Amino acid sequence: GENVEQHPSTLSVQEGDSAVIKCTYSDSASNYFPWYKQELGKRPQLIIDIRSNVGEKKDQRIAVTLNKTAKHFSLHITETQPEDSAVYFCAAGYNNNDMRFGAGTRLTVKP
Amino acid sequence: DVKVTQSSRYLVKRTGEKVFLECVQDMDHENMFWYRQDPGLGLRLIYFSYDVKMKEKGDIPEGYSVSREKKERFSLILESASTNQTSMYLCASSLGRGRSDTQYFGPGTRLTVL
């Protein structure tokens, strides 16, 4: 089955700086790579996703890149704000039925 | 707007008790999932279901069972609760089998087993 590793486990940046979180996966059949944000005491919510036929996707300050050859994908947040502080989870899977999540990255944005 | 609800936010049970966690979604989703969330381990899949009365084991099914008698409801059962099952349990649902779709999560149930 799929195995997802996520790094770093904690990340602290100054407001306005960029943050990058990286994930690797093991199953070359995986074709769907979502990222979830979980604020303290709340449920995980999808912030961006990418499918295997695309190498990069952007949504305002958030971007995700995918390298299928190397089996890794990354989340990039630019111009970070205090409200970006949360735990971020990457996930990988094939057609959503076998999604596996990374261990999470706790991002702290210092004002 | 998709709504996924879970029967309890907080639950305290004793070792050996039978525990039922219920999840309901209101968007006619085919797929439903149960995860547990532990610090440093992320979200680990316990069971999932892609249709009524269908279930598939995830990564950590031991000590758990599930029931899906109706499309909108997916129950997680701890037959005999143990202290190592103290955790946050998250339910999720997604649209359809065979598609890459967003999973929508419930608010979670924090279970403590004494």
DSSP class per residue in A17-84: S-EEEEEEES-TT--EEEEEEE-TTS--EEEEEEETT-SEEEETTEEEEEETTTTEEEEEE-S--GGG
Identify the burial level of B62 via C-beta atoms within 10 angstroms of its C-beta, where 0-12 means exposed, 13-18 middle and 19 or more buried: exposed
Which residues from chain A sit within 8 angstroms of residue B60, using beta carbons?
none
What pLDDT is stored for residue B2 in this prediction?
Answer: 67
The answer to whether A97 contacts B101, with C-beta atoms less than 8 Å apart, is no
Please judge whether B105 and A34 are an interchain contact, meaning their C-beta atoms are less than 8 angstroms apart: no
Q: What is the pLDDT of residue B97?
A: 62
Q: pLDDT, tens digit, for every residue of A37-73?
A: 999 989 999 999 998 888 999 999 999 999 999 999 9
* pLDDT surpasses 70 at B15: yes
From B75, B26, B87, select the one nearest B49 (Cα to Cα): B75
- The residues on B that touch A, with CB distances below 8 Å, are 31, 33, 35, 40-45, 48, 50, 56, 59, 90, 94, 97-108
Neighboring chain A residues of B40 at a CB cutoff of 8 Å:
9, 103-104
CB contact under 8 Å between B101 and A96, yes or no, is yes
Angstrom distances, CA of residue A47 to CA of A77, B3, B103: 11, 17, 11
Return the pLDDT at B9. 94
The region that residue B106 occupies, defined by phi over 0 for left and psi between -120 and 50 for alpha, beta otherwise, is beta
**Residue B64 · residue B80 · CB < 8 Å:** no
Of the candidates A42, A95, A104, the beta carbon closest to that of B98 is on A95
Question: CA B34 to CA A35: how far, in whole Å?
Answer: 18
Amino acid at A104: G
Q: Compute the average pLDDT of residues B100-107.
A: 85
Q: What is the mean pLDDT of residues B82-105?
A: 87
Within 10 Å of residue B84's Cβ, how many Cβ atoms?
Answer: 9
Closest Cα in chain B to A6: B42
Lowest mean pLDDT among A49-53, A61-65, A82-86, B46-50: A49-53
C-beta atoms surrounding A52 within 10 Å: 17
Would you say A108 and A87 are in contact if contact means Cβ atoms under 8 Å apart?
Answer: no
pLDDT for A93 equals 85
Q: Note the pLDDT of residue B74.
A: 97
Q: Are the C-beta atoms of A106 and A10 separated by less than 8 Å?
A: yes
